[in-house]
Amino acid sequence: MANKSASETAQKIGRQIGPVILLGPPGAGKGTQSKQIVDRYGIPQISTGDLLRDHVARGTALGLEAKAIMARGELVSDELMYGIVASRLREADCKRGFILDGFPRTAAQAGWLDAFLEQEVFDKSSTTSSEEAENCPPVVIQLLVDYNQLLLRLTGRRSCPTCGRLYNIHLQPPLVDELCDLDGSKLVIRDDDRQEVISGRLTAYENQTRPVADYYRVQRRLVAVNADRTVEEVTAQILGVIDRHCHDRSA
């Protein structure tokens, strides 16, 4: 049903949205808000955390390499990330636009992404249709959240292993304790949401990901939103930013 409505909306909108980059610390709500953007615009969510967890679950060589790093809350190497992200962005469903959730996460990744988009998306000499030539530059949205609220969001997060719906035992509890409202599955806790790993993830964010916001701020491409509000209020701010971005571009 959700997919049907997403595709109906996409058909209704039927235009280029371009890349949407969500920046924010662990627990800021990047995944939660990505799902709202998917519903509104019908463009795919590309979560590098989900892509890595999928490699870990399948036991690929990349997954084996990433597993221990993720378990410590550290960042996987830039070189490993480039391959995963490049192949995902080349898939057909990214043509109208895509949401990057968790990438870029270092200043080097941000520079790599600019070069990749310039080369593969904006290089008009290599485009084959007028629609592709209309691609718009990324809109970069920074989610600002108070530190104590982040801790509540991370320590309380639960997810449904069947449908992927997110809950929070402190802030957005399911109707029945630890069970998904939609399909009754037993909710699970992410491996890296343990207290000792959370502090490593927040440190990695401060040291390695905060400079990414500076990178985009200097280029005047960063739009900050107050993400310390309800999910619906944050969504309204984000959709407003994307709509204005697309409108300004087409005006």
Catalytic: 201?
yes
Toward ligand AP5, which CB reaches closer, 27 or 97? 27
Cα–Cα distances (Å) from 155 to 84, 148, 149, 181, in that order, read 28, 11, 10, 20
Q: Are the C-beta atoms of residues 246 and 40 closer than 8 Å to each other?
A: no
**How many residues are given for the chain?**
251
Considering only 67-75, 130-138, 177-185, 212-220, which stretch makes contact with ligand AP5 by CB under 6 A? 67-75
User: According to CB under 6 A, which one of 20, 75, 99, 225 is a site residue for ligand AP5?
Assistant: 75
* Residue entry with tokens 């209704």: 12
User: What residues between 141 and 160 interact with ligand AP5 by CB under 6 A?
Assistant: 153, 156-157
Is 30 one of the catalytic residues?
yes
Residue with tokens 């809109």, as numbered in its chain: 139
* 44 touching ligand AP5, by CB under 6 A: no
Among 10, 23, 28, 110, interactor with ligand AP5 by CB under 6 A: 28
Smallest gap from residue 126 Cβ to ligand AP5 (A): 26
Among 234, 238, 242, 246, binds ligand AP5 (CB under 6 A): 234
Nearest residue to the partner ligand AP5, using Cβ: 49
In whole angstroms, what is the distance from residue 209 CA to residue 174 CA? 32
Q: Which of 33, 249, 49 is nearest to 142 (CA)?
A: 33
Q: Which is nearer to ligand AP5, 12 or 79 (CB)?
A: 79
Q: Does 19 bind ligand AP5 (CB under 6 A)?
A: no
Ramachandran angles phi, psi of 199, nearest 5°: -65, -35
Task: Give the containing element (helix H, strand E) for 223.
Answer: strand 222-226
Q: Is 129 exposed, middle or buried (0-12, 13-18, 19+ CB in 10 A)?
A: exposed
Residue among 15, 95, 165, 190 flagged as catalytic: 190
Q: Which stretches of 91-167 are DSSP H helices? A: 107-120, 130-133, 147-155
Residue 73 lies near ligand AP5 (rule: CB under 6 A): yes
Based on the residue annotation, tell me whether 190 is a catalytic residue of this protein. Answer: yes
Annotated catalytic residue within 35, 40, 157, 158: 157
97: left (phi over 0), alpha (psi -120 to 50) or beta: left
Q: Minimum Å distance from CB 99 to ligand AP5?
A: 11
Q: Does 27 bind ligand AP5 (CB under 6 A)?
A: yes
List contacts with ligand AP5 (CB under 6 A). Answer: 24, 26-32, 48-49, 52, 69-70, 73-76, 81, 102-103, 105, 109, 153, 156-157, 166-168, 171-172, 192, 201, 230-231, 234
